[in-house]
Structure 1
Amino acid sequence: MDTMRDRFATVMARLLDEDPRVAVVLAEIGRDGFTDAARRHPDRVINVGIREQLLIGAGAGLALTGMRPVLHTFGSFLVERPFEQVKLDLGHQDAGAVLVSALGSYDWPAGGFTHMSPGDVALLDTLDGWTVHVPGHPDEAETLLRHAVGAGDDKVYVRLSVQSNDDARPVDGSRPLTVRRGGGGVVVAVGPMLTPVLEATADLDLTVLYATTVRPFDARSLRAATESAGADVVLVEPYLAGTSTPAAAEALADVPHRLLGLGVGRRELRRYGTMPEHLAAHGLDPAGLRERIVRFLDAGRPRPAGGRTAR
């Protein structure tokens, strides 16, 4: 199976052929995937070299001329390094663009911390008006990329990862999907966290929502799920733990609830290791997720006079 990033190059090559407004701007990373497209559209496939601030500035300039620019590099170089340009060239000027990242939080551990970006979505949360898609499968990446490019002149971030769920779901760039129904609480699995969440909660009486569009946060769907499943809510995100807990808490502000945010920890792991080792270290593998979800649910159950948790 191809990766999300493989699919990105294929989809964008087609969109360049289909829509004369579309332009792709690269900062050296990913250029090999656009060799043929650049021959066909030399004025709309632009490589600015290793200049990430210029990547954003050039994209904003294209947007101001009426183009629909798609900007691509690793997440740490796309959101973190040129954040001032994201804030001013795109945000302040209200210029729409599609930012498409790769490597997720730690998809290439050998690259070290410079190539890891667990805080990208949290950083974009400091800005207004961004739509954020987090596909969990290459097929979903294709759907969401087409949705993002066709979204008028909006500011959109598409977060691609090597991590992938076992199966694609019929995502629509809007509402989360209800994958499983239960009555003992709600787990919201974001993007590539769905397969490990389903494994971790296979025998638990929980509703599982699957979210691939996390901004705007769908408060209505979360509230509806808690009405039937109870107001114990666990958010499982493939980036910084707690990124979406403020949005979820606001959605349930008038409802008594308990909320647990699981994701990448703030402590830097200073050994390269492998991606599965990073997942396990952050408790995002099935075993780690199950242990923390069960502990959270048990803590909220009423205790009998003897002090043991009721089961």
Structure 2
Amino acid sequence: MDTMRDRFAPVLTALLDEDPRVAVVLAEIGADGFAEARRRHPARVINVGIREQLLVGAAAGLALTGLRPVVHTFASFLVERPFEQVKLDLGHQDAGAVLVSAAASYDWPAGGYTHMAPGDVALLDTLDGWTVHVPGHPDEAETLLRRAVAAGDDKVYVRLSVLSNTRSHAEAPAVGEERFLTLREGRGGVVVAVGPVLDAVLAATEGLDVTVLYAATVRPFDAAALRRAVGSAAADVVLVEPYLAGTSTAAANDALADVPHRVLGLGVGRRELRRYGDAAEHTAAHGLDARSLRERMSRFLRSAGVPAGR
């Protein structure tokens, strides 16, 4: 199966051909995939070199002229390094763009901590007006990328990863409409799985009497879906996110402000793992593999009196 990033250049090349508003801004990373597109659209495929602050600033300038810029590099260089430009050039000027990242939290451990960005979504959470897509499959990535480019002048972040679920939910209306998708229904709690952690969550919750919601879009947070899943009684909610643990805990608490509840936020830990390893080893070390998730969720739910299941 191809990866989410494998889809990126072909889809954007097609959109460049179809829509004269679309522009692509790169900082060397991924430039080879746009060689033909650059020959056809030299004014709308721009490589600024290894200058990430300029990457975002140039995109904001293009947006102010009426174009729809799509900006791409590793997450650590797209959100963290040029954060001032994201905040001011895009946010303060109310200029829209589509930021499309690669490498996610730890997709390329050999690159070291400079190429990891588990805090990217939490950092964008400090700003107003961002839509954040976290696809869990290449088909979903294509659907959400096309939606993001077509989204007027909104500020959108699309978080690509080499990690992927076995099955795509791109055909589900909820995914395209930025809503949580109900995959299982139970009475003993609600588990929200974000993007590429879904397969591990489904395996971890097998036999547990819980509702499983799937989120490929986390901002805006689908408070209404969570409320429906919880109902009016006291509830326990587990959030499993492929980035910094607890990133969406406040959003879940706000959604359930008038309902007695507890929230367990699982995700990438704050402690830096200083051995390179591979992505699967990082997943296990952060407790995001199916067995670790099962143990952590079962302890949390048992403490509320929920049977552990098989």
What TM-score results when the alignment is normalised by the length of structure 2? 0.96
Which residue number in structure 2 is paired with residue 295 of structure 1? 299
Q: What is the CA deviation profile of residues 82-112 of structure 1, one whole-angstrom value per residue up to 9, with x for unaligned ones?
A: 0000000000000000000001100000000
- 2:145 aligned with 1:145: yes
Contact 1:234/1:259, CA 8 A, preserved across alignment: yes
- 2:131 aligned with 1:131: yes
Which residue number in structure 1 is paired with residue 239 of structure 2? 235
- State the distance in 2 between where 1:286 and 1:192 align: 12
- State the distance in 2 between where 1:206 and 1:65 align: 49
Which residue number in structure 2 is paired with residue 172 of structure 1? 176
- 2:9 aligned with 1:12: no
Which residue number in structure 2 is paired with residue 97 of structure 1? 97
Which residue number in structure 2 is paired with residue 245 of structure 1? 249
Aligned-pair CA distance for 1:258: 1.1
Which residue number in structure 2 is paired with residue 193 of structure 1? 197
Aligned-pair CA distance for 1:173: 4.0
Report the CA distance shift for 1:267/1:95 in structure 2 as closer, same or farther (over 3 A): same
- 2:224 aligned with 1:220: yes
Q: What is the CA deviation profile of residues 195-246 of structure 1, one whole-angstrom value per residue up to 9, with x for unaligned ones?
A: 0000111111111000011001111110000018961100000000000000
Contact 1:186/1:229, CA 8 A, preserved across alignment: no
Which residue type is aligned with residue 206 of structure 1? V
Aligned-pair CA distance for 1:162: 0.4
Give SS of 1:28's match.
coil
Question: Which blocks of at least 5 consecutive residues in structure 1 are unaligned?
Answer: 304-308
- State the distance in 1 between where 2:38 and 2:271 align: 41
- State the distance in 2 between where 1:31 and 1:6 align: 13
- 2:79 aligned with 1:79: yes
Which residue, out of 279, 283, 290, partners 1:279? 283
Contact 2:233/2:259, CA 8 A, preserved across alignment: no
Which residue type is aligned with residue 276 of structure 1? A
Which residue type is aligned with residue 164 of structure 1? S
Which residue number in structure 1 is paired with residue 273 of structure 2? 269
Aligned-pair CA distance for 1:302: 8.2
Aligned-pair CA distance for 1:260: 0.2
Q: Aligned pair count?
A: 306
Which residue type is aligned with residue 224 of structure 1? R
After TM superposition, the structure 1 = structure 2 runs for residues 107-122 of structure 1, keeping only pairs within 5 Å, are 107-122=107-122
- 2:161 aligned with 1:161: yes
Which residue type is aligned with residue 42 of structure 1? P
- State the distance in 1 between where 2:306 and 2:222 align: 30
Aligned-pair CA distance for 1:301: 1.3
Report the CA distance shift for 1:234/1:267 in structure 2 as closer, same or farther (over 3 A): same
Aligned-pair CA distance for 1:8: 0.8
- State the distance in 1 between where 2:168 and 2:185 align: 19
Give SS of 1:233's match.
strand
Which residue number in structure 1 is paired with residue 33 of structure 2? 33
Which residue type is aligned with residue 240 of structure 2? V
Contact 1:133/1:213, CA 8 A, preserved across alignment: yes
Which residue number in structure 2 is paired with residue 3 of structure 1? 3
Question: Which blocks of at least 5 consecutive residues in structure 2 are unaligned?
Answer: none
Contact 1:184/1:230, CA 8 A, preserved across alignment: no
Which residue type is aligned with residue 61 of structure 2? G
Which residue number in structure 1 is paired with residue 24 of structure 2? 24
- State the distance in 1 between where 2:180 and 2:305 align: 27
Aligned-pair CA distance for 1:38: 0.8
Give SS of 2:266's match.
strand
> Over aligned residues, Cα RMSD in angstroms?
1.6
The list of structure 1 runs, each at least 4 consecutive aligned residues, that deviate by more than 6 angstroms after superposition, is none
- State the distance in 1 between where 2:228 and 2:206 align: 22
Report the CA distance shift for 1:32/1:230 in structure 2 as closer, same or farther (over 3 A): farther
- State the distance in 2 between where 1:127 and 1:23 align: 24
Contact 1:147/1:173, CA 8 A, preserved across alignment: no
Which residue, out of 205, 208, 211, partners 2:212? 208
Give SS of 2:176's match.
coil
Which residue number in structure 2 is paired with residue 306 of structure 1? none
Aligned-pair CA distance for 1:264: 0.1
- State the distance in 1 between where 2:123 and 2:148 align: 20
